[in-house]
């Protein structure tokens, strides 16, 4: 086809194909944005939407209170442990001092020190009692921490059971939402594919063919490429089924078109040579001649052979001679390439007869005038 086009027309066609591609790219961008934003039509789901709130809220409050109690008790336990360490150190020092004093008293054996012995023993008992009191506080705080942790664990276990049930409901709802959103996307892209098929059959050779082809590229890309990342596990079945149906429809259209074309060709080959050449467009004839095929039946012909003037397959005239200079030229050329004379088809016998009759009538009328 490109060999029969004028240079400007060839570049215009390339520019129009560029328009088709740019148009398709913008449509693809818009379609991808719409397809990606379709999940926003559904409300965002949360675990709390499916959990038993009446049972979950007390458990959560229990967990929160236990965590707070454990935090406070842990801080108190740290303080009491410091106090216990200090009391143990004081008690140890007091026992060591008392032991040294006892050793000294045994060495001197002075009876007047019995009163001091009693006082020192009471002081040592005070240190020990203090140590025991602090140890009791440590034990109390440990018990508080332990109770808080156990209560928190029991509440978390009960809450986990409720959350597990809610999670199952959430996942089931996610699957239903996924199905609905996929249905939205399919309802958007499948009609586009149907419209693209109709445009391909009816409008692909029309005046606005760049926009038609741009839309076709967009529809095919939107369904077979853009829809793929959002397909659920069973989405492949939809894709392949639609692909099979589209292939069957296109194949059937191609088969019917081929049979219709062959029928037209057989009918055309039965027409007279002049009629067949008049029905062929100039560009179509040049395109087929450029491919070394017969413009009438599209079978291969050796056009470089100067002895071939007619197609050996269908008999259509391929070469004739200029009426002015008798140069051999293509029968489909509009002008002679040697002298530039117009290659207008000769008048048919019927038209010639009509011209003769009109001339005779005119001649007959003149004498009367």
Query: For the chain, what is the mean pLDDT?
Result: 77
User: Which residues have C-beta within 8 Å of that of residue 199, sequence separation ≥ 6?
Assistant: 212, 215, 216
pLDDT surpasses 80 at 76: yes
Distance of alpha carbon 86 from alpha carbon 213, whole angstroms: 89
Kindly tell me the sign of the dihedral angle through the C-alpha atoms of 13, 19, 24, 25. positive
Band of residue 241 on the pLDDT scale cut at 50, 70, 90: confident
Alpha-carbon Rg for the chain in angstroms: 52
> In b/e form, how buried is each residue of 210-219, taking b as 16+ CB within 10 angstroms?
bbbbbbbbbb
pLDDT surpasses 60 at 359: no
pLDDT surpasses 80 at 235: no
In degrees and rounded to multiples of 5, residue 310 shows phi and psi of -130, 150
Task: Specify the pLDDT at position 364.
Answer: 38
Q: Report which of 346, 280, 345, 343 is spatially closest to residue 311, judged by C-alpha positions.
A: 280
Distance of CA 62 to the CA centre of its chain: 46
Burial of 10 (0-12, 13-18, 19+ CB in 10 A): middle
Burial of 334 (0-12, 13-18, 19+ CB in 10 A): exposed
User: Which residues have C-beta within 8 Å of that of residue 165, sequence separation ≥ 6?
Assistant: 50, 51, 52
Distance of alpha carbon 38 from alpha carbon 53, whole angstroms: 30
The answer to whether 1 and 283 are in contact (CB under 8 A) is yes
Strand partners, 68: none
Task: Specify the pLDDT at position 351.
Answer: 41
pLDDT tens digit sequence for 333-351? 888 888 888 876 544 444 4
In this prediction the pTM is 0.46
pLDDT surpasses 70 at 361: no
pLDDT tens digit sequence for 128-156? 788 888 888 888 888 888 888 888 888 88
Most confident region among 116-130, 273-287, 317-331 by mean pLDDT? 317-331
Task: Tell me the average pLDDT across 282-286.
Answer: 79
Terminal-residue alpha carbon distance, the chain: 58
Give whole-number Cα distances, 335 to 215, 288, 324, 339, in Å.
41, 18, 11, 8
Band of residue 358 on the pLDDT scale cut at 50, 70, 90: very low
| Listed range (6-15, 161-170, 199-208, 245-254) with the worst mean pLDDT | 6-15
pLDDT tens digit sequence for 184-230? 877 888 888 888 888 888 888 888 888 888 998 888 888 877 776 66
pLDDT surpasses 60 at 357: no
Task: Tell me the average pLDDT across 70-81.
Answer: 86
Distance of alpha carbon 184 from alpha carbon 178, whole angstroms: 10
The answer to whether 47 and 160 are in contact (CB under 8 A) is no
Distance of alpha carbon 278 from alpha carbon 241, whole angstroms: 46
Band of residue 111 on the pLDDT scale cut at 50, 70, 90: low
Domain range summary for the chain, segments of one domain joined by +: 1-232, 233-270, 281-368
């Amino acid at each position: 086809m490109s060999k029969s086009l004028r240079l400007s027309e060839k570049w215009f066609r390339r520019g129009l194909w560029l328009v088709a591609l740019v148009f398709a790219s913008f449509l693809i961008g818009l379609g991808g944005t719409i397809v990606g934003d379709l999940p926003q039509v559904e409300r965002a789901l949360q675990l709390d939407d499916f959990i038993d709130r009446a049972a979950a809220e007390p458990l959560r409050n229990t967990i929160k209170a236990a965590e707070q109690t454990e935090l406070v008790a842990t801080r108190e336990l740290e303080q009491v442990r410091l106090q216990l360490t200090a009391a143990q150190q004081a008690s140890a020092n007091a026992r060591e001092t008392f032991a040294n004093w006892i050793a000294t008293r045994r060495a001197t054996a002075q009876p007047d020190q019995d009163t001091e012995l009693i006082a020192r023993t009471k002081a040592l008992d005070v240190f020990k009692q203090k140590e025991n009191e602090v140890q009791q506080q440590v034990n109390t705080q440990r018990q508080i921490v332990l109770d808080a942790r156990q209560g928190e664990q029991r509440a978390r276990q009960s809450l986990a059971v409720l959350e597990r049930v809610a999670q199952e409901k959430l996942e089931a709802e996610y699957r239903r939402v996924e199905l609905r959103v996929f249905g939205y996307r399919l309802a958007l892209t499948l009609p586009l594919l149907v419209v693209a098929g109709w445009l391909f059959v009816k409008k692909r050779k029309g005046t606005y063919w760049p926009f038609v082809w741009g839309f076709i590229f967009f529809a095919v890309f939107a369904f077979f490429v853009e829809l793929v990342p959002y397909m659920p596990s069973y989405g492949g079945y939809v894709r392949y089924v639609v692909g099979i149906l589209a292939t069957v429809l296109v194949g059937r259209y191609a088969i019917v078109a081929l049979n219709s074309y062959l029928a037209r060709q057989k009918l055309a080959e039965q027409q007279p040579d002049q009629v067949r050449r008049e029905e062929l467009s100039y560009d179509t004839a040049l395109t087929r001649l450029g491919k070394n095929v017969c413009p009438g039946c599209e079978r291969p012909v050796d056009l470089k052979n100067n002895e071939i003037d007619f197609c050996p397959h269908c008999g259509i005239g391929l070469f004739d001679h200029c009426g002015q200079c008798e140069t051999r030229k293509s029968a489909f050329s509009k002008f002679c390439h040697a002298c530039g004379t117009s290659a207008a088809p000769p008048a048919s016998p019927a038209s010639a007869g009509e011209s003769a009759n009109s001339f005779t009538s005119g001649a007959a009328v003149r004498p009367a005038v």
